[in-house]
Amino acid sequence: MLKNNYFKGWYFKCCTKNKTIAFIPAYHLNNSIKTASLQIITDDEVFNIPLDTLKFREKPLFVKLKNCIFSEKEIKINIKNSSQTIQGTLQFQKLSPIRYDIMGPFKFIPFMQCRHRIYSMSHKIDGQITVNGKQYDFQNGIGYIEGDCGRSFPKKYVWTQCCFENGSLMLSVADIPMLGFHFTGIIGVILLGGIEYRIATYLGAGLKHIGENTVTVKQGDYQLTAELIKKNTHPLYAPNSGKMNRTIHESASCTAYYRFSHKKNILCEFTSDRASFEFEYT
């Protein structure tokens, strides 16, 4: 059953060494008014396409908006209107899910403002998408899939994701309201050489530092730093009490630095120009 003042959306990121495109299908319910949308972010621009209906199932993931399908196996997109022609098919190979729900015990709390889910940390992509005549070839591309649901995005948060050689990572740090007080919620996964490292509030993670375009979290002897070096931001609509009337700014493909260490040992350290970043912590 759908709740009122509610949203549910999915994030399909597809990238190669020099191109990125992300698709965000979503539905929104505000004051009993149902709407749906598809936002598409490329390296150069963003498209917001309002739609009337959206159908979905979670297991296995399958989302259908008009002539578009987003699933665990593929993306099929066919949009033609007065200002956009976006068409193509991307096939996914085996997904890389995480070991258990990223929300941990928080998944059992019924009144969370926003819940996060990771469907795949990394998977191979093959196919092509054409956006207004510009062709995106994803032969041997890399994909990532996550989702969110709830009432609203956190007022203050940082989110970043990056696939890299031999791994993939995601980190979110947010101001979480609960029962009249606030706390800093942290969820993060580093998939490195087939080993999954998890950093989360429910595992004892804490915020060590947050400043302009940089964040460091620490959990025991593990420490992760993410720094946005060069922005490439585009405006996106985000949910506020189920209504998509908040504007956030995402760099779907930007330059970022990451460092993950255990005690004095650096497990991985790199700079990537295929990183994604949202820094809404002001």
Specify the pLDDT at position 66: 87
For residue 33, give both structure tokens. 């008014």
CA atoms of 238 and 7, how far apart (whole Å): 9
Q: What percent of the chain has pLDDT over 70?
A: 99
Single-letter amino acid, residue 147: G
Mode of pairing for the β-strands spanning 243-262 and 265-280: antiparallel
pTM: 0.96
Burial label, 24 (beta-carbon count in 10 A; 0-12, 13-18, 19+): buried
Predicted local distance difference test score (pLDDT) of residue 180: 79
Q: pLDDT-based confidence at 271, cuts 50/70/90?
A: very high
Cα atoms in the Cβ-side hemisphere of radius 13 Å centred on 97: 10
Please give the pLDDT value at position 226.
98
pLDDT value at residue 1: 42
What are the beta bridge partners of residue 172? 159, 187
What is the 3 state secondary structure string of the chain?
CCCCCEEEEEEEEEECCCCEEEEEEEEEEECCEEEEEEEEEECCCEEEEEECCCEEECCCCEEEECCEEEECCEEEEEEECCCCEEEEEEEECCCCCCCCCCCHHHHHCCCCCEEEEEEEEEEEEEEEEEECCEEEECCCEEEEEEEEEECCCCCCEEEEEEEECCEEEEEEEEEEEECCEEEEEEEEEEEECCEEEEEEHHHCCEEEEEECCEEEEEECCEEEEEEEEECCCEEEEEEECCEEEEEEEEEEEEEEEEEEEECCEEEEEEEEEEEEEEEECC
* 45 pLDDT more than 70: yes
pLDDT digits (tens, 9 = 90+) for 123-157: 999 999 999 999 999 988 999 999 999 999 999 99
* Banded model confidence at residue 4, pLDDT cuts 50, 70, 90: confident
| Cβ proximity of 10 and 17 under 8 Å | no
Nearest alpha-carbon partner for 40 in 93, 95, 84, 90: 84
3 band by pLDDT with thresholds 50, 70 and 90: low
Tens of pLDDT along 246-257?
Answer: 999 999 999 999
178-228 pLDDT, tens digit each: 877 899 999 999 999 999 999 999 999 999 999 989 999 999 999 999 999
Is residue 282 scored above 80 in pLDDT? no
d(CA 157, CA 153): 8
Q: Reply yes or no on whether the pLDDT at 43 is more than 60.
A: yes
